[in-house]
Amino acid sequence: MNDNINDIDNAVTVRNVYKNYGEVEALRDLLLDFPRGQLTSLLGPSGCGKTTLLKIIAGLLPANSSEILVNNQPLTGPGPDRAFVFQDFALLPWANVLRNVAFGLKLLGVARSEREAIAETYIGNVGLQGFEKRYPHELSGGMRQRVGLARALSVDAEVLLLDEPFSAVDEQTRRKFQEDLLHLANNENKTFIFVTHSIEEAVYVSDQVALLLARPSRVSEIIRPEGFRHKDAGSIRRDPEYLDIVVRIWASLRTYVE
């Protein structure tokens, strides 16, 4: 595989990112690359600044200082090349599923019939067909999360930023979602940046796992689970390399828990 960083085409490069919230130093001199077309997980103890980093990349939060390139262009703010899936869904409670999914396209000025046709497709892709006319309060947490995912997919951004997208669902659904995500990552030629608390989940879906240290946060280690990427979804969890990596990451992280 290609280990030379300079040869890899990166969708997003993050250099020298510092972020303070008043006295609290959240990120210090953070450096990380997100190779195009790959899925990178951010894994780290709670409160270490994963959401902060994701929002900085999304252009929603200003860093104290940063050198961030998105498609080799300096980051200036939110852009059509990035779409965000929010941890708390951020759905419009007065709009039904169809209008929620189409909302991103509406803000881009896509005509109604066109945006609804696109939204319809992605509603199908995330398995919500038949629920177009339902309102968010009529859906389960997992279904709401899928609405958020469909909304992000429908604007067809190259980079998808997912903030703990599976935290609101039960374990069975979560496993299903993980398989779906793996499928999505393989089929759509998109770059995924994925925040999670689950070591198993990170190793299962990622091309690259970035371990973040406790605050002030930097990347302590980058792990690339490559040996089992080509395997089918069902047999990954039995792969020795998968199990090895899970144990290794836990060994790194447990020092911060203790």
- The residue ranges that bind ligand ATP (CB under 6 A) are 21, 24, 26, 46-52, 197, 215
Under the criterion CB under 8 A, does residue 79 sit at the interface with other proteins? yes
CA dihedral (215, 219, 206, 125) positive or negative:
positive
Nearer to other proteins, 77 or 234 (CB): 77
Nearer to other proteins, 192 or 204 (CB): 192
CA within 13 Å, CB half, 235:
6
Q: What are phi and psi of 163, to 5 degrees?
A: -100, 105
Closest CA relative to residue 118, chosen from 79, 157, 160, 155 = 155
Under the criterion CB under 8 A, does residue 58 sit at the interface with other proteins? yes
Distance CA 111, CA 63 (A): 35
Helix axes 141-154, 171-187, angle to 10 degrees: 10
CB of 109 to other proteins, least distance (A): 10
Element containing residue 123 per DSSP (H, E): helix 112-125
Instruction: Determine which residue in the list 22, 74, 93, 234 makes contact with other proteins, applying CB under 8 A.
Output: 93
CB of 162 to ligand ATP, least distance (A): 12
Residues 122-141: x/- map of binding to other proteins (CB under 8 A)?
A: -------------xxx-x--
CB of 17 to Mg ion, least distance (A): 16
Distance CA 73, CA 148 (A): 27
Instruction: Select the span of 17-25, 90-98, 111-119, 236-244 touching other proteins (CB under 8 A).
Output: 90-98
Instruction: Select the span of 64-72, 94-102, 187-195, 223-231 touching other proteins (CB under 8 A).
Output: 94-102
CB of 218 to ligand ATP, least distance (A): 13
DSSP 195: E
Which residues partner with 24 through β-bridges? 21
Residue 27, burial from CB neighbour count under 10 angstroms (0-12, 13-18, 19+): buried
Nearer to ligand ATP, 127 or 216 (CB): 216
Under the criterion CB under 5 A, does residue 121 sit at the interface with Mg ion? no
Distance CA 87, CA 58 (A): 14
Residues 21-60: x/- map of binding to Mg ion (CB under 5 A)?
A: ------------------------------x---------
Q: Which residues bind other proteins (CB under 8 A)?
A: 58, 60, 78-80, 82-84, 86, 88-96, 103-104, 106-108, 135-137, 139, 144, 151, 155
